Amino acid sequence: MSARQFSLSSRVSPRLADLGLLGPAIAVILVFMVAPMAIMFVYSFLQAAPYGGVEWVFTTEAYSSILFERDFLDNSLTFTPDYLIVLARSVFQAGIATVLCLVISVPTAYYIATRPERQKNIWLVLITIPYWVNLLIRTIALLFVLRGDGPINAVLMNLGIVSEPLPLSYNGFAVCLGLIYSFLPFMVLPLYSAFERFDFRLLEAAYDLYASRRIAFFRIVLPVMRPGLIAGSLLVFIPSIGSYLAPDILGGGKTLMIGNLIGTQFQSARNWPFGAALSMILLTLTLLVLLWLARRAGHQKSDCR
Amino acid sequence: MSNTSSSTMRTVTATSRIGDIRAFAGFGSASVGCLIFLYAPIVFLAAYSFNDGRSVSRWSGFSLRWYATVFGNENIQTAALNSVIIAVIAATVATLLALGAATATVNRRATGGEAAYVVLTFPLMVPEIVTAVASLVFFVAIGISLGFVTILMAHIVFCIPFAYLPIKARLEGLDPSLPAAAADLYASPAQAFTRITLPLLVPGLLSGWLLAFIISLDDFIITALVAGPGATTLPLHIYGMLRLGMTPEVNAISTLMLGASTVLVLVSALIGRVGHKH
């Protein structure tokens, strides 16, 4: 079969035509996306200028200041866990959010897949709509219901369950809930599409062989969902770990995540190399997770053969 | 025939022991809970935009006054207009770039297609905040002053993969014998493309464009960093309003954006359905 099915012109060589078609998009991404990353990499090894920007002096100060604080007077380095805590909190919050999304999404995706065709489509549209709604607005909406004088607390207090408003907002709990709320559709949809063509006769066979529901679920349903599980976890974990809006709007002072720390370095704190170094760490972390999952998915494929 | 009957028999034996074999206890209520979780906050936010009182906690009767305030606010008008102009231009440019790229990558699936795919979807893999600060640093380094133009450029870049993926999927689903048949009937490759391939691609182009448009309208953090002091978009303006606390105006303008997004999804779902029929 010929590889060239959709061509524009016979007069120019196919290779040249492809280059002309592909070139602009690739060039735009290389110039405006890849080059900026390279600049960031260089900046992370430079010295901070006092009012933002950099001075062209090579130093690893930006990286070492993640772990150590330089004393103003005697220039000695002392270990400081502050930034490590922010980093650990980001991984932890994103991890919890991913696991909880999974717990909510697996039954939901399964349930949708077992609906009749018509209902299935309605469910899918309903799950998709929030994904299209502006993230800032969804985060504001969540803050609106979680506030001290918001509807949840109002109901709880009217029913006399609590006498004081519960501290639902401006803490780690709210941030985690915000991450789940932001990225839940990213988990449901891949799980559903992995499970969509499931052959229910496999379940029948399992029950015929005296499998309990538990065993049928863990040994038949979950393995079939696995590709969606991997894709969904990726789609939730990666935006969660670098999330800016959820910790910014729903969190308080002690719930800073790495995304906010990076943002601050380029806004009020004006320490570009430090921000660049943090960005490089976040980028590396993200790409490592991607690579690891891609390799796992690859292994899975070869196992099947 | 015998296959069906034996499968029915098996169903009978299985169901006699276990009930409906497809059902797991609690899965239905978990799904309903999932929907409630997704919708309750936005429904509450929208409901309180019609509240007459200044307070966002106490209901004091139906009113459209906050919508009047929002529509009368010139800053909001400017921000909204900026958002729409940026989204239209960014989505259109990104769709054109993506159309070219998709046509080329589908052609050369064998050679270099993988590398091109990685580059084209690269913006999806980088955390948004990193893209945001890197774009800021880049624009400052090459000396473009921050404002409308830098927002637009940044938006075009992150819209490309969103436009590219639906177009590529549609192109891969097309029957390759159609342009070949056109060529047999003496159509030039350009004619075959514009008369056969392009019309068949329309659903992919539309959904790619819509996706890019919404992603552009949606963006906050990248825009916030490359906007500079002068330019603003609707999300930036809403974020600024939020700094003064939760007000009924925030509810009203959020509800308007909710409505706009919902209409766009339904339109795109409709396009998808039309696309499937062909």
Residues 64-83 of B with CB under 8 A from A: none
Q: What angle do CA A109, A115, A121 make, to 5 degrees?
A: 80
For residue A305, is pLDDT > 50?
A: no
DSSP state letter for B185 = T
In angstroms, rounded to a whole number, what is the distance separating the alpha carbons of residues A17 and A70? 57
Length of chain A equals 305
CA distances to A34, A132, A273, B202 from B215, rounded to whole Å, are: 20, 8, 29, 20
| ipTM value for the complex | 0.85
In angstroms, rounded to a whole number, what is the distance separating the alpha carbons of residues B72 and B74? 6
Residue A18 tokens read as 């492809």
Using a CB-CB cut-off of 8 Å, the residues of chain A touching B41 are 138, 141-142, 144-145, 181
How close does chain A come to B200, measured CA to CA in Å? 12
Contact A140 B45 (CB under 8 A): yes
**Is the Cβ–Cβ distance between B207 and B168 less than 8 Å?**
no
In angstroms, rounded to a whole number, what is the distance separating the alpha carbons of residues A185 and A189? 6
Question: pTM value?
Answer: 0.85
Using a CB-CB cut-off of 8 Å, the residues of chain A touching B134 are 33, 36-37, 39-40, 279
Q: Does B117 touch chain A (CB under 8 A)?
A: no
Residue A26 tokens read as 């690739």
**Is the Cβ–Cβ distance between A101 and A236 less than 8 Å?**
yes
pLDDT digits (tens, 9 = 90+) for A106-142: 999 989 988 888 888 888 888 988 888 889 999 999 9
In angstroms, rounded to a whole number, what is the distance separating the alpha carbons of residues B19 and A275? 58
Residues 152-171 of B with CB under 8 A from A: 153-154, 156-157, 160, 164, 171
In angstroms, rounded to a whole number, what is the distance separating the alpha carbons of residues A140 and B46? 11
**Is the Cβ–Cβ distance between A126 and B259 less than 8 Å?**
no
Give chain B's domains with CATH numbers.
70-277 (1.10.3720.10)
Question: How many whole angstroms from its chain centre is CA B112?
Answer: 28
**Is the Cβ–Cβ distance between B73 and B252 less than 8 Å?**
no
Using a CB-CB cut-off of 8 Å, the residues of chain A touching B30 are 104, 107-108, 111
Residue-wise burial string across B81-90, b where 16 or more C-beta atoms lie within 10 A, e elsewhere: ebbbebbeeb
Please list, in sequence order, all residues whose beta carbon lies within 8 angstroms of the beta carbon of residue B246, skipping any fewer than 6 positions away: A140, A143, A144, A147, B56
- Alpha-helix runs per DSSP H in chain B: 2-18, 27-47, 65-72, 74-107, 113-125, 128-142, 148-173, 177-184, 189-192, 198-218, 221-226, 234-242, 248-277
For residue A99, is pLDDT > 90?
A: yes
Contact A203 B120 (CB under 8 A): no
Of A6, A104, A279, the CB nearest to B171: A6
Contact B137 A40 (CB under 8 A): yes
For chain A, how far is it from start to end, CA to CA, in angstroms? 26
Q: Residue ranges per domain, chain A?
A: 1-38, 82-304
Q: In the predicted model, what is the mean pLDDT of residues B192-216? A: 87
Q: How high is the mean pLDDT of chain B?
A: 83
In angstroms, rounded to a whole number, what is the distance separating the alpha carbons of residues A71 and A82? 15
3-state SS class at A121: helix
Lowest mean pLDDT among A17-26, A279-288, B95-104: A17-26
CATH superfamily of A82-304: MetI-like (1.10.3720.10)
Q: How high is the mean pLDDT of chain A?
A: 83
Highest mean pLDDT among A71-75, A211-215, B16-20, B127-131: B127-131
CA distances to A8, A37, B89 from B142, rounded to whole Å, are: 36, 14, 23
Contact A129 B179 (CB under 8 A): no
pLDDT digits (tens, 9 = 90+) for B35-61: 999 999 999 888 888 888 777 677 777
Contact B119 A30 (CB under 8 A): yes
Using a CB-CB cut-off of 8 Å, the residues of chain A touching B269 are 125, 128
In this structure, how many other beta carbons lie within 10 angstroms of the beta carbon of residue B118? 10
- Confidence class for position B2, pLDDT limits 50, 70, 90: very low
* A138, burial (CB in 10 Å: exposed 0-12, middle 13-18, buried 19+): buried
